Structure 1
Amino acid sequence: MEYDFTLKYQLAADDRDPAAIVERLGAAGCDDALVGTGVAQRIALAFTREAETADAALRSALADVRRALPGARLTEAGPDYVGLTDVADLLAMSRQNLRKLMLNHPDSFPPPVHEGSASIWRLADLLAWFAERGHALQPALLEAAGAARQVNLARDAGQLSPEMLQGIKPLIS
Structure 2
Amino acid sequence: MNCRDSESLILAERDGALTKPQLTALSNHVAACPSCLRLRTSVNTATDTYQAGLSAVRVPDADQAWRELQSRMSSPAWREKKRPLAPVIWFGLPVAAAAALAFVLLPHSPETTSPNVVTEARAEFVEAGDATASTLVYVDKESGWLVVWAAEAPAQTSG
Q: Same fold (TM over 0.5)?
A: no
Q: Which has the higher helix share?
A: 2
Q: Which has the larger radius of gyration?
A: 2
If each structure's strand is expressed as a fraction of its own residues, which one has the higher value?
1
Q: TM-score, normalised by structure 1?
A: 0.22
- TM-score (norm. length: structure 2): 0.24
